[in-house]
Structure 1
Amino acid sequence: MLIQQLQEQLKQACFEDFDAFSNAVLQHDKQDSLQTVLACGLRCSNLSQAFALAYRCALQALVPALKQDQWASMCVTEREGNHPKQIKTQLNKQGCVSGEKSFVTMAGLSEQLLVICKQGEQGGQPILKAVLVNADQPGVTVTLMPAMNMLSEIPHGVLSLEDAQGEVLNGDGHSDYSRVFRVLEDTHILLAASCLILNQAYRFKLSGVMQRALGLVSFLLSLKLQPCNWLSVQLAAGFDQFSELCEMFEPFLGQCGAEFEARWYKDKKIFSLASGARQARTDKALAELLNR
């Protein structure tokens, strides 16, 4: 079944630009988020598209009630950082949110904002909640940042909130949302990037690369998205396989075109930037599993 599905999807043309990509992603049923990444990831033209796809689908897996035809953003990071004790954005008793998020991915495009905010303290520890905020309302201001030197098609910005009304979601804002999201995001990004390589290997008849990419895609599709700790450990093995896949693929980048090659090396830096935090999540997950 998977092979037949892959054969059909690999025959489709890659997205011509970000608008065509965006329309396809937002129109796709994201109830099975990994299948959406597979279907759209095999048509991505670059890592910017693959990352945006993975980011949106990871959010759908985290909050299934999100409107599927709209972009969404996870809003955690503030000027002091993203640790629970560094979150200053406040949620009042009326369900209104005030504060500032200093780095929001897909800013300006997202109509749904998942904001992690503080609702007091208990025992010296912050009580964090996740609040779903509609971007198109009074009290919500997005200021776009200059484009980054990687993933240049993905906008980022600063989010300012002043008594913005939102829907308070059940659960803890950190353990049930921001922490889980990072693992889901890693899973979906790894799959999307592997699909991008698989597409290029198919187009340019790189049989060895295609075989290795197909194996990694199959492994990632077999993962269960919960519980978080087991998934973190499995992902560590997946990223090791992805590194090996990149080493096999990169000598052939010249066949994929000068533009693709240049963008690949520029955008691939995102994996190195996130490696430290990813390793910390893996170490913590292993410690919790072994000290059960």
Structure 2
Amino acid sequence: MMPDLWVQALSLPALSVTTPYTLRMNLARLLRTSEPAEAAIISGLRSDIPASAFLAGYQVAMRAVDSSLSPEQWACLCVSEKGLRSLSEMSTCIDNGVISGRKSHAMLADSGMDWLYIIARDQSDLVCRRVKAGEQGVSVLPSDPAQPVVPELAHHALEFNEAHVDSHFHCADAHNEINKPFRYHEDVMTILAFSGWCLRMSDSASDQSKLVTVMQALAGGYRMSSKGYCLEQLNAFEALAEELMTVAAALPAAAADYWQRDRRLLVMGQKARSIIRQRLELSAH
């Protein structure tokens, strides 16, 4: 049976990335009153398209990067650099509180984000510092042609020219403390939000008992303090992914078109999750 809060969410008007202020305020209220996984699910249940669900789920996941981030504020994590094959080759650097370099992907960097969380080199260490979006020394570069998935959430390259970092946030060992764990948090929050959207779009949402059950299983084991997947959470994620694909195959035509385009977001992490599974299974024996 679907929880009462989910049923209530389905009865409310849809939220959309095209009306970001309304989406922001509703998500802020959820972040203040709900556990993270529930916030992601309910945001998905109220989303009009997958991009709206993804943005909400991503913002929930960003609270694993910085738990003090205000519920009303949006942020993105900036790691990628063009041609980067290993984090040891990262060229973006921080020196005396200013950051210089270039990042190749930052969601809604030209509008919508309040903070940019940047993983960069500080001498021989990788650290994470944050910079205000629009800070002097931060340039949003012209975007490439729209990305094939969630094009409503434009990703831009960023150039930093001695932009001052915020003194209130600093994380050392950023690869192990933020970069690796964030993959897990983003995975879980995104698939829960997508699943909520899929329920909203389904012609028979009240009949999707198996989807509801596997959503609850993944959400029930989620902890924002986690540093990554355990085998139980990985199994729960894959069970939800399988059921989500089954339910989505029967979506009405308009929703199915969105799903076929944007479901690749879930596929992108399959290789990494396969490697994680091998490691977890080896350590279990």
TM-score, normalised by the number of residues in structure 2 = 0.87
* Structure 1 residue 12 corresponds to structure 2 residue 15: no
Supply the distance in 2 between the matched residues of 1:186 and 1:70 (Cα, whole angstroms): 21
Higher relative contact order (CA 8 A, sep 6+): 2
Q: What amino acid sits opposite 2:271 in the alignment?
A: G
**Structure 2 match to 1:95:** 97
Moved over 6 A (4+): none
Q: What amino acid sits opposite 2:187 in the alignment?
A: D
Supply the distance in 2 between the matched residues of 1:29 and 1:13 (Cα, whole angstroms): 15
**Structure 2 match to 1:133:** 131
**Structure 2 match to 1:263:** 258
Q: How does 1:69-88 map to 2 (within 5 A)?
A: 69-81=72-84, 83-88=86-91
* Structure 1 residue 212 corresponds to structure 2 residue 194: no
Aligned 8 A contact 2:17 2:52 in 1: no
Cα 1:19–1:164 change in 2 (3 A) is same
* Structure 1 residue 56 corresponds to structure 2 residue 59: yes
Q: Secondary structure at the match of 1:162?
A: strand
Q: Secondary structure at the match of 1:74?
A: strand
Q: How does 1:220-259 map to 2 (within 5 A)?
A: 220-225=218-223, 226-229=225-228, 231-253=229-251, 256=252, 258-259=253-254
**Between 104-113 and 78-87, the greater mean CA deviation after superposition:** 78-87
Listed one character per residue, the Cα deviations across residues 248-284 of structure 1 (whole Å, up to 9, x for unaligned) are 313422xx3x321211111112222221123223334
Aligned 8 A contact 1:104 1:156 in 2: yes
**Structure 1 match to 2:108:** 106
Supply the distance in 2 between the matched residues of 1:224 and 1:240 (Cα, whole angstroms): 14
Identity of aligned residues (%): 21
Unaligned runs of 5+ in 1: 122-126
TM-score, normalised by the number of residues in structure 1 = 0.85
Supply the distance in 1 between the matched residues of 2:281 and 2:36 (Cα, whole angstroms): 26
Cα 1:245–1:224 change in 2 (3 A) is closer
Unaligned runs of 5+ in 2: none
**Structure 2 match to 1:148:** 147
Supply the distance in 1 between the matched residues of 2:30 and 2:265 (Cα, whole angstroms): 27
Listed one character per residue, the Cα deviations across residues 82-109 of structure 1 (whole Å, up to 9, x for unaligned) are 63212111111x2111110011223222
Aligned 8 A contact 2:215 2:240 in 1: no
Output the aligned Cα RMSD. 2.4
Report how far residue 15 of structure 1 moved. 2.3
Tell me how many residue pairs correspond in the alignment.
277
Q: Secondary structure at the match of 2:171?
A: coil
Supply the distance in 1 between the matched residues of 2:121 and 2:175 (Cα, whole angstroms): 10
